[in-house]
Amino acid sequence: NIIAQAQTGTGKTAAFGLPLIEMINSSERSVQALIITPTRELAIQVSEEISSFKGNSGIQAIPVYGGQSIDQQLRRLKKGVHIVVGTPGRVIDHIKRKTLNLKDIEYLILDEADEMLNMGFIEDMEEIMSHTNPHKRTLLFSATMPSRIKALASKYMGDYEFITVKKQQLTTSLTEQIYYEVKASDKFEALCRIIDIEEDFYGLVFCRTKNDVDSTVSHL
């Protein structure tokens, strides 16, 4: 179990999403991980990011949130999914309908827990956690650590590791950082030159949008 105090934009989704892809058993068509987010926009974003990580693993992740047809969500859940990313209210709705069984989940992630507290979802978070497998692993991410969040962790998480990520800690002194300031239209050419210069280039290329990713891959 882990509590991580980290700001938005520090790579939290990749930090929990990539390990989930590795650890989930794709041959079992059951929900093995639940990710709770404060808003539907974040639920959609996290679900899309995790789906972009999965490659050919066969792992299915879906967002569930208010404002979307619940019948559509029910159909997808019945087909069998591995990861559910949802807002507190809609997750509780599925629990009450018995369309989402959390007794066998192995991983619970609470993303932006302080925002859920600010939006009045603390009781919903507690109710959701009370329905989960007590032997699961829980990861709680929060930019701040108010007393209600600490109390929630003490009640439901047992022993946990506490990690604080500050802006100055995003990289270590062993990491060399090089910054190139180029026009947007010249970015791809600059990337190609970097790859040509580095004999053993191996790494990750991050793009701002899905279209940028597709374009970069096709041109490389």
Side by side, the strands of the sheet bearing 107-110 are: 61-64, 83-86, 33-36, 107-110, 137-142, 2-6, 161-165
With both helix axes pointing from N to C terminus, report the angle between 210-219 and 187-197 in degrees, rounded to the nearest 10: 50
Q: How confident is the model at residue 206 (pLDDT cuts 50, 70, 90)?
A: confident
**Which CATH number does the domain 2-168 belong to among 3.30.70.360, 2.60.40.10, 3.40.50.1820, 3.40.50.300?**
3.40.50.300
The residue extents of the domains of the chain are 2-168, 184-219
Kindly report the pTM of this predicted structure.
Answer: 0.72
DSSP string, 49-116: HHHHH-TTS---EEEE-TTS-HHHHHHHHHH--SEEEE-HHHHHHHHHHT----TT--EEEE-SHHHH
pLDDT tens readout for residues 142-192 = 888 888 888 888 888 888 888 887 655 555 555 677 888 888 888 899 998
pLDDT tens readout for residues 85-141 = 999 999 999 999 999 988 889 999 999 888 898 898 989 999 999 898 888 999 998
